[in-house]
A and B are shown apart, each in its own frame.
Chain A
Amino acid sequence: NAGVMQNPRHLVRRRGQEARLRCSPMKGHSHVYWYRQLPEEGLKFMVYLQKENIIDESGMPKERFSAEFPKEGPSILRIQQVVRGDSAAYFCASSPRTSSYNEQFFGPGTRLTVL
């Protein structure tokens, strides 16, 4: 059973461009979470999605950031008009939610660099 896949692993964008980060959850997992880790800081929750639904987006910046998890295909975190402050590692996690606790399985992350 393959783990959580994220691509690309590294992404370089110039200011003003768009960044698209993809996350394929583990097989059988229908819950996806996105976290951001700024350099030398801890992980911050961004958004929680189930198939075709956003459940909790309380950690998402109000502008330029959006996320989706379509019925078919990976979850996408989209950052429009990137700025230097968006440079960070973005981690995706998935969960089966078949248990009463909330173990999440993390991907290797996408490291975004904005020039």
Chain B
Amino acid sequence: DAKTTQPNSMESNEEEPVHLPCNHSTISGTDYIHWYRQLPSQGPEYVIHGLTSNVNNRMASLAIAEDRKSSTLILHRATLRDAAVYYCILTSNRDDKIIFGKGTRLHILP
């Protein structure tokens, strides 16, 4: 399975942008890049996904490097409710299960 590497934790101030990095140097051509997050005491929730092009939705933006070996999840204006563990995951049609790594624990400072 292709692996991802993320920092263990990050801090950001409230109402400032947050850039969460992810390295996936062994990504294959058909792997999608997914981001999920898990708020305290809750199940994971989908944030965003992409293949090659940058993506935007109401929650976040996903910037994908041209060689696809890394990506960055961007929260444009962090709030206290964005404090969570953020997981960067590779998925493909070959395998339906999600392999979760340790993720990045994001702390938001008021």
Contacts and interface: CB of A to CB of B under 8 A. Distances in A.
A103 interface: yes
A67 to B, nearest CB: 13
A45 B99 contact: yes
Interface of A: 4, 31, 33, 35, 42-45, 48, 55-56, 58-59, 91, 93, 95, 97, 100-109
How large, as a class, is the contact surface on chain B? 20 to 34
Interface of B: 32, 34, 38, 42-46, 49, 87, 91-93, 95-103
- Taking each of B34, B98, B102, B103, which has the highest tally of chain A beta carbons within 10 Å of its own beta carbon? B98
Nearest to A109: B43
Contacts of B46: 103-105
A103 to B, nearest CB: 5
- Taking each of B38, B43, B91, B96, which has the highest tally of chain A beta carbons within 10 Å of its own beta carbon? B43
A65 to B, nearest CB: 16
Nearest to A55: B96
Contacts of B93: 100, 102
A101 B49 contact: yes
Contacts of A59: 97
A20 B97 CA distance: 22
B44 A45 contact: no
Contacts of B91: 101-102
A48 B49 contact: no
